[in-house]
Amino acid sequence: MTARLESFVPAAAPQAVATPAPQAPSANTVAQREARRAAHEALLARWKAIVEAGGADEWAQAQLVSRGLAVGELDFSSASEKEKTAWKEKKKAEAAERRALGRQAHEAWKATHVGHLGAGVHWEEEGGSDKFDIAHREERARANGLPELGSAEVLAKALGLSVSKLRWFAFHREVDTGSHYISWGIPKRDGGTRTITSPKPELKEAQRWVLSNVVERLPVHGAAHGFVAGRSILTNALAHHSADVVVKVDLKDFFPSVTWRRVKGLLRKGGLPENTSTLLALMSTEAPREAVQFRGKTLYVAKGPRSLPQGAPTSPGITNALCLKLDKRLSALSKKLGFVYTRYADDLTFSWTKTKQPKARRAQGAPVAVLLARVKDVVESEGFRVHPEKTRVSRKGTRQQVTGLVVNRARDGVASARVPRDVVRRLRAAIHNRQKGKPGREGESLEQLKGMAAFVYMTDETKGRAFLKSLEQLEAREKEAAPKAP
């Protein structure tokens, strides 16, 4: 199950620990960066010259002529042995220079072309339309507000990358000597471990551009509340407040089930051409890998197909767009059976309220069994799986919790979504203990407590602001008590 709390910092809340000012790059770093930029621009200029010359062979011949290295034919029948020997030496020099020019032409080609993206990946440099294109693709792209990305060169420029760097990010290898991602595990509530796979800074920056300029422009259903502007765990929970029955269904292996080919299909359906969709799909996915030692080297071996990494900025947005049809079908099913439906990432929530039903249906009660059976069919037909051990049915009179918030009607009759009392008590006790000079629990940090306080602030501003103010005072006190650097 994916994490339920989105990052949240209220406007009136104190700021987090100050981030140190970024250090200016060293002179060596700047010089290296400028040298790489100049080398890349030289390659681009060379390829332009090759195209203008009519091809690599024509360009090479022109270069030989301009350098005085082109050797004409020799009439061997009338030439002396000395002339023949000299001609052969010149011919050898010409051949060596032609080979060097061929290598230079290939370097320029690689700087402006993708060429190949790994085993099992179809790639055509020219792109163009094919039988899998949707009708009126360009109109669909414009309707979705997608940028014109007709070639690898155009995409690389938009991302602020060279074509070779774009190819490097997208290239698929079953066995690789490095990785564009960093992975670590975090404990799950059921005792297991969730693997977080986060891209390294340069790839992450490129993925953020893809998220803002492509993924977030694709249509998303109104039932989706996770990672959508203006929606949150609070809006998701409020949709189910004061219900008589709340049904929660979890999708199993949500991100791993979205392979790079599914992402490519989504982008093509959104209006992007085949070649650009391939590059973006590969850039946004990664195979689960295992580090293996072989002959003194660390190799990263793929354990499965490329899929969405849990930790990449593009992954939640891609799943929201990909689940458009799933959300449509489940919304229609819920409406037919008298339920309200929302989805937060891989958490599907359905609620049934007796007073909102027609009189004929009230006496029959909530058709939970019918709902669950049909939800399973819809989910599987859309390429996902229901987690059988995480389906929960909460009825009126028991605690009904949706994305971490309690949605039962409050004692004063006010319909709301609120933080569970045990979480508030735990936070209050942790702050109180620190104020008395007692150490926090093992692994408990002020930043974690701030996150809990911001969680409370989201549903109760007065209480949350008081917690945040106390934590700010504790933070200031700990800074004063910290030993000064000599």
pLDDT in tens, 57-105: 999 999 999 999 999 888 888 889 998 899 999 999 999 999 999 999 9
Locate all alpha helices (DSSP H) within 133-226, ordered by sequence: 137-143, 152-159, 163-170, 201-213
Q: Is 149 found in the same domain as 78?
A: no
- pLDDT exceeds 80 at position 15: no
Give me the CATH number covering residue 390.
3.30.70.270
pLDDT in tens, 382-438: 999 999 999 999 999 899 999 999 999 876 666 689 999 999 999 999 999 999 988
Which residue is associated with the tokens 């490519």? 264
Q: What amino acid occupies position 149?
A: L
Q: Is 362 found in the same domain as 226?
A: yes
* 4 located within any domain: no
Name every residue whose Cβ is closer than 8 Å to that of residue 97 and which is 6 or more positions away in sequence: 64, 67, 69
Of 307, 335, 370, which residue constitutes the final position of a domain?
307
- pLDDT exceeds 50 at position 1: no
CA 431 to centroid of chain Cα atoms: 36
Distance, in Å, from the CA atom of 435 to the CA atom of 360, rounded to the nearest integer, reads 58
Of 390, 417, 444, which residue constitutes the final position of a domain?
417
Distance, in Å, from the CA atom of 74 to the CA atom of 342, rounded to the nearest integer, reads 83
- Name the nearest CA neighbour of 124 among 105, 152, 161, 160: 152
Q: Is 457 found in the same domain as 397?
A: no
Farthest CA pair distance, the chain: 115
Half-sphere exposure of 307 (CA within 13 A, CB side): 15
In the chain, % helix, strand, coil (3-state, to 5) comes to: 50, 10, 40
- pLDDT exceeds 50 at position 2: no
The mean of the pLDDT values for the chain is 89
Rounded to two decimals, the pTM is 0.85
Cα angle 177-181-182, degrees, rounded to a multiple of 5: 105
- pLDDT exceeds 80 at position 159: yes
pLDDT in tens, 271-324: 999 999 999 999 999 999 999 999 999 999 999 999 999 999 999 999 999 999
pLDDT in tens, 125-134: 877 778 888 8
* 129 located within any domain: no
The predicted structure's pLDDT at residue 328? 98
Q: Is 395 helix (H, G, I), strand (E, B) or coil?
A: strand
Number of independent structural domains in the chain? 4
User: First CA to last CA across the chain, in angstroms?
Assistant: 47
Q: Is 346 found in the same domain as 425?
A: no
Distance, in Å, from the CA atom of 282 to the CA atom of 276, rounded to the nearest integer, reads 10
Token couple for 65? 């002529």
* 14 located within any domain: no
pLDDT in tens, 165-194: 999 999 999 999 999 999 988 877 677 788
* 411 located within any domain: yes
Cα angle 168-173-178, degrees, rounded to a multiple of 5: 65
* 12 located within any domain: no
pLDDT in tens, 372-383: 999 999 999 999
Which residue is associated with the tokens 């930043």? 447
The predicted structure's pLDDT at residue 412? 62
The predicted structure's pLDDT at residue 91? 92
Which residue is associated with the tokens 């996915």? 285
- Better-predicted residue by pLDDT, 363 or 220: 220
Q: Is 332 found in the same domain as 401?
A: yes
Q: Is 321 found in the same domain as 210?
A: no
The predicted structure's pLDDT at residue 17? 33
331 in Cβ contact with 325 (< 8 Å) = no
Q: Is 175 found in the same domain as 143?
A: yes
* 486 located within any domain: no
Q: Is 298 found in the same domain as 321?
A: no
Between the CA of residue 284 and those of 28, 136, 197, 395, what are the distances in Å? Answer: 32, 26, 12, 40
Q: Is 429 found in the same domain as 334?
A: no
Q: Is 462 found in the same domain as 317?
A: no
- Name the nearest CA neighbour of 420 among 452, 391, 449: 452
Q: Is 194 found in the same domain as 51?
A: no
Of 96, 112, 128, which residue constitutes the final position of a domain?
112
Token couple for 421? 């009392």
Q: Is 410 found in the same domain as 454?
A: no
Give the residue numbers spanning the domain of 346. Answer: 221-253+313-417
* 120 located within any domain: no
Q: Quick one: what percent of the chain has pLDDT higher than 90?
A: 73
Q: What amino acid occupies position 267?
A: L
* 121 located within any domain: no
Distance, in Å, from the CA atom of 279 to the CA atom of 268, rounded to the nearest integer, reads 12
257 in Cβ contact with 144 (< 8 Å) = no
